[in-house]
């Protein structure tokens, strides 16, 4: 499993896993309306389905057992998240929540499947993937929750403040993971199939670290915005979450170039 499709599959799988975990383990159930869970559930489902398709196209022939397992776990995660979203849409809240919670370990197993394909050891690879999942999941859920405040203006701000704090912690974990991934290997990542500029003097590492630093700055600005008491405070924080999605996806994509090669 290699090439740009493998990198995209990995980033999408991390987003689906992190978004699912923070959605169902973040203490939002019963405090935020069911529609938010439908919205976010469909978002992470889309990421999981696209990750499955990208991973399938990235699998080299002959397909190894590890790559086959990663694709199957992607498909299984997509199925569980799809059933959860369908149950919520049909207002089967108990079943939807149960399937959503089931999607958390299933998504973690999906990341474990990708870790077996990685060139480095399983445990370091899995830790890097988990850090990336929290990183990407925090920006995705934060962005969607910020928009949800437009439909539920009475929603307490504690929820989005908590997600902004999670983002700050995730940025620190991601910085460590990127540094270990970039500087802990003796050979530069294979950038064939990407822009040849990325192969110049380990540019992928510095691009990833730079984008992580930008995300850290944005996370601080989000926290500062939420100190305001007006309705525009949440709108400003949501705008910053837009920027965080861009910088976080760029950072994680650059960090995972050649990760599965």
pLDDT at 201 over 60: no
Whether 142 and 22 have beta carbons less than 8 Å apart is answered as no
pLDDT of 84-110, one tens digit each? 999 999 999 999 999 999 999 999 999
Boundaries of every domain in the chain = 4-255
* pLDDT at residue 231 tops 90: no
Distance CA 24, CA 43 (A): 14
Q: For 140, list phi and psi in degrees, rounded to 5.
A: -65, -50
CA–CA separation, 13 vs 16, rounded Å? 5
Q: Are 18 and 137 in contact (CB under 8 A)?
A: yes
Ordered DSSP codes for 109-163: HHHHHHHHHSSS-HHHHHHHHHHHHHHHHHHHHHHHHHHHTTT-TTS-THHHHHH
Distances (CA, A) of 65 to 6, 59, 113: 16, 10, 10
Tokens of 31: 């405090």
pTM over 0.75: yes
């Amino acid at each position: 499993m290699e090439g740009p499709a493998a990198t995209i599959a990995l980033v999408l799988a991390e987003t689906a896993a992190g978004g699912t975990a923070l959605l169902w383990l973040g203490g939002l159930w019963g405090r935020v309306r069911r529609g938010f869970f439908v919205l976010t559930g469909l978002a992470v489902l889309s990421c999981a389905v696209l990750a499955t398709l990208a991973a399938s196209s990235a699998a080299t022939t002959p397909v190894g057992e590890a790559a086959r397992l990663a694709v199957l776990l992607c498909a299984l995660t997509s199925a569980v998240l799809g059933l959860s979203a369908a149950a919520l849409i049909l207002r089967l809240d108990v079943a939807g929540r149960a399937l959503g919670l089931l999607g958390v370990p299933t998504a973690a197993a999906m990341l474990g499947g990708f870790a077996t394909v990685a060139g480095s050891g399983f445990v370091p690879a899995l830790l890097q993937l988990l850090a990336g999942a929290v990183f990407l999941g925090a920006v995705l859920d934060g962005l969607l929750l910020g928009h949800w405040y437009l439909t539920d203006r009475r929603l307490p701000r504690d929820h989005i403040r908590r997600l902004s704090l999670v983002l700050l912690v995730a940025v620190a974990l991601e910085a460590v993971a990127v540094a270990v991934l970039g500087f802990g290997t003796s050979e530069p990542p294979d950038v064939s199939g990407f822009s040849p500029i990325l192969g110049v003097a380990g540019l992928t590492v510095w691009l990833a670290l730079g984008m992580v630093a930008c995300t850290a700055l944005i996370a601080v600005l989000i926290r500062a915005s939420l100190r305001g008491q007006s309705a525009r405070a949440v709108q400003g924080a949501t705008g910053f979450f837009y920027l965080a999605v861009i910088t976080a996806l760029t950072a994680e994509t650059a960090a995972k170039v050649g990760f599965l090669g």
